[in-house]
Amino acid sequence: MENVYGYIRVSSYDQNEDRQMIALRELAIPEKNIFMDKQSGKDFDRPSYKRMVRRMKKDDLLYIKSIDRLGRNYGEILEQWRILTKEKGIDITVLDMPLLDTRRGKDLMGTFLSDIVLQVLSFVAENERSNIRQRQAEGIAAAKDRGVRFGRPVGPLPQEFYKACKLWRAGEITGTEAAKMCGMPLSTFRYRTKICQEIK
C-alpha cells in the first residue's frame, strides 16, 4: 500500500471532511499518504495537493471521492487528470464513479471510453456548481424582496450623532473629532453619516 494515495478537498474551513476521510480509510490507505486541503476552490494553489503530486511516482494509485476534488471547473479537472495520468503515469480511481478507474481498460478503447466519461462528469460537476450559485443568488434576491435584511443588525445612533454630523458637514470639526463625540470608530461614523443626508 506504500504507493496508494488519497486526496481530500473541502471548499472552506466550515465544511466537514468526514465523508471523504471515511471512504479513504475504508481502503486502508496509510495515514501518511492521505493529503487534505481545506480552502476555497477559488484558486488552485493547494499546498497539500502539490506536495502529494510531487511525491507520487509512475504507477502509483490515487483515490478521490468525487471528480470535482481535482478542480473547481471543467477545464481544471481535465488539466489535472491529464497531468496525473499522461505526464506522471499515475492511476486514478474515483470512488463515486467506478467507471473512472484508469487501471481498467488500458487499451485504446478503454482509454477512449474513460476520457469520454471524464469529460461528461467534469461538465456535470461544473454545471451543478453553477446551478447551486444561481439558486443561492435567486434565494438571496427573493429574501431581499421580502424585506429580509442580511448582516448584523444596525444599532441605535448615539444622542450626539446628529449634532456631530451637522458640525462635521459644516466643516467645523473633523471626521475623527465627530467620531469621538459619538464614541464610535471613524469608519463606523463615516458609514452611518448616510443618515446625515436628511439633516439640513
Q: In which order are the strands placed within the sheet that holds 61-64?
A: 34-38, 4-10, 61-64, 91-94
Active site residues: 11
3-state secondary structure of 17: coil
- 95 close to 65: Cβ distance less than 8 angstroms: yes
Distance CA 126, CA 130 (A): 6
Q: How far apart are CA 45 and CA 43, in angstroms?
A: 6
- Amino acid identity of 35? F
Q: Evaluate whether 166 touches 196 at the Cβ level (below 8 Å).
A: yes
